[in-house]
Amino acid sequence: EKTTLSNDAIINYRKQHLGKSLSLQYKTPIKMVRGAGQYLMDQFGQKYLDTVNNVAHVGHEHYKVVKAGQKQMALINTNSRYLHENMNELAKELIETLPEELNVLHFVNSGSEANELAIRMVKAVTGEKDMIASEVGYHGNSNMAVAISSYKFDGKGGNGAPEHTQIFPLPDAFRGKYRGENVAHKYVAEVKNCIDNIQKKGRNVGGFIVEPIISCGGQIELPEGFLAKSYELVRKAGGICISDEVQTGVGRMGKTFWGFQLHNVVPDIVTIGKPLGNGHPIAAVACTQKVADTFANGMEYFNTFGGNPVSCAIATEVLKTVKTEKLQENALEVGEFLKAELLKLSKEFPIIGNVRGQGLFLGIELVDANLNPLAAQTDYLANRMKDHGILMSTDGLDYNVLKIKPPIVFTKDNAKEVLFYLQKILTEDFLQL
C-alpha cells in the first residue's frame, strides 16, 4: 500500500525535482485517483464531469480497452522486428476508416512523434524543407514540431518563426484578420502568399500542415472551401499536405470519422494521436503508397515502442469500441444538441460572442461588446464550473475560449448539466458586461 501524500507535498516536490516548465491546471490543483467513462474522482471522493479529456476518447478506463492491454501485456510485448498480427489488425482497422489512397501506416508513440515523422516524409518526398502552418497552430513538443508551432514560437519563451516556416494568419472568421461570411478566399490568398515567400527565397514548398479545426487557436473552424483551395495551391507548387488529426480524429467530429472529411479533401499524410490509445501512448502516421515508398530510401525507420503488440491491442479495441458503441453517432447527436443549446444561451448572454465546432469538439468564445477578448472572465467561468464538479478548459490566442472536448461517451444528460451550470454562473456579477 502506497502512502498518500498531501497535495501540497506533491506540489512542493514537483517544484524542486520535476521539469520546471510543467504547469498545473486550476488555482487549487486537483489530484485525480479514479476515472470511469466521462467522470473522474479526486482523492476526497469528489466526482467531476469531464468535458476536457479528448484522450480518454471512449471513456476513462474503458473496461474492454483496459482488458485488451492487460491480456496482451501478460503474453508478450516486444518491438516490431518480430512478427505479430496485432500490428496488422490495427492497420486494417485504421485503413477501413480512411480514404483508399491512404493505406500505409507507421506506428509511433505520441502526436509529436507522428508529426515529426510526417515532416521527415515531406523532406524525403519533395526534397524541400519549407513548411507552411497556421498562426496559433500546435503540432508537438519535438524540435521540428515546435518549429511549425506558432502557438509555441510566437508565445512566451519563443523566438518567432524559424527560417523554413511560413505562417498564415489564423483563419478565424469571427475575430481573425478577415471576418464574416465569404472570407475563405482571403485566407487562401494568405497561403498563396506563404508559397510566394518561399519561392522568392529561391526555394520551394515542402509541406502544408493544419488541423481541420484549429484546437489551440480556440476551436477555429476553417472557412468553407479554405482547405480544398489551399491543398490545390500547395500541390501545384510541388508541396504535400498533412492533416493533423491528433485532436480531431477517430469520430469526434460526429459527421465524419476524420476532420479532413468535413472539407472534402484527401491529404497525403494524416497524423493520429491522443484518442487512439485512450490514454495509452500510441500514435500513427497514415500516408499514400507513394509517400511511403519514397520515404523508405534505404535508411531504416526503427521505433522501439511504436506498434508494439500491447499498444496495438489497445488501439484496436478503441477503434472497435467507437464502432460497436456507435460513438461517432453519439458525438454527432449530443454535440449538435449541445451546440444548439449553447447558441440559445449566447442570445441570452451577449458575453458569449461565438459558439462553434463540430460534434463533441466545441468552443465558446467570450468577448465584450467591441469583440475584445475576456480572458479573466473565461478563466473565472472554468473555475466556477469546477466548483460545481464540471471540468472545462480554456484556450485560444487570447485565452478567451472555453473548449468542450469530452470523452465521446458524453450523454445528453451530461450536456444538460453543463448547460444548467453555465446558465447559472453566467448570471454572476463578474460575468456581467
Q: Which helix (H) or strand (E) holds 66?
A: helix 63-75
Site residues for ligand PMP, window 275-334 (CB under 6 A)? none
Q: Which one of 57, 84, 106, 139 is in contact with ligand PMP (CB under 6 A)?
A: 139
Binding-residue total with ligand PMP (CB under 6 A) = 14
| Closer CB to ligand PMP, 53 or 115, in the complex | 115
Q: Does 208 bind ligand PMP (CB under 6 A)?
A: no
Taking CB under 6 A as the rule, does residue 134 contact ligand PMP? no
269 binds ligand PMP, rule: CB under 6 A? no
Q: Is the CB of 221 or the CB of 341 nearer to ligand PMP? A: 221
Q: Supply φ then ψ for residue 353, to 5 degrees.
A: -80, -30
Report residue 69 CA to chain centroid gap. 24
Residues 73-112 that bind ligand PMP (CB under 6 A): 110-112
Question: Interacting stretch for ligand PMP, rule CB under 6 A, among 68-76, 242-250, 292-300, 424-432?
Answer: 242-250
Can residue 141 be called a binding residue for ligand PMP (CB under 6 A)?
yes
What CA–CA distance (Å, rounded) separates 13 from 8? Answer: 9
What does the buried/exposed string (b/e) look like for 261-296 if buried means 16 or more CB atoms within 10 Å of the residue's CB? bbbebbbbbbbbbbbbbbbbbbbbbbbbeebbeebe
Q: Which residue is nearest to ligand PMP (CB)?
A: 111
**Is 173 one of the binding residues for ligand PMP (CB under 6 A)?**
no
CA distances from 121 to 239, 261, 300, 306, 423 (A): 11, 22, 13, 17, 48
3-state secondary structure of 37: strand
Is 273 a binding residue for ligand PMP by CB under 6 A? The answer is yes
C-alpha span between 338 and 37 (Å, rounded): 19
Cβ-contact 217, 374 below 8 angstroms: no
Q: Which stretch binds ligand PMP (CB under 6 A): 17-25, 181-189, 243-251, 405-413?
A: 243-251
Question: Which C-beta is closer to ligand PMP: that of 115 or that of 378?
Answer: 115
Least spacing, CB of residue 112 vs ligand PMP, in Å: 3
Report the nearest approach of ligand PMP to the CB of residue 109 (Å): 8
Select the span of 136-144, 310-318, 325-333, 424-432 touching ligand PMP (CB under 6 A): 136-144
| Options 132-140, 193-201, 202-210, 371-379: segment touching ligand PMP (CB under 6 A) | 132-140
Instruction: Say what angle helices 327-348 and 309-324 make with each other, to 10 degrees.
Output: 70
Residue that has been written with the C-alpha cell 509529436 in this structure: 112
Q: Do residues 197 and 160 touch, judged by C-beta distance below 8 A? A: no
Q: Which residues pair with 131 in a beta bridge?
A: 165, 207
Residues in contact with ligand PMP by the rule CB under 6 A? 110-112, 115, 138-141, 211, 215, 244, 246-247, 273
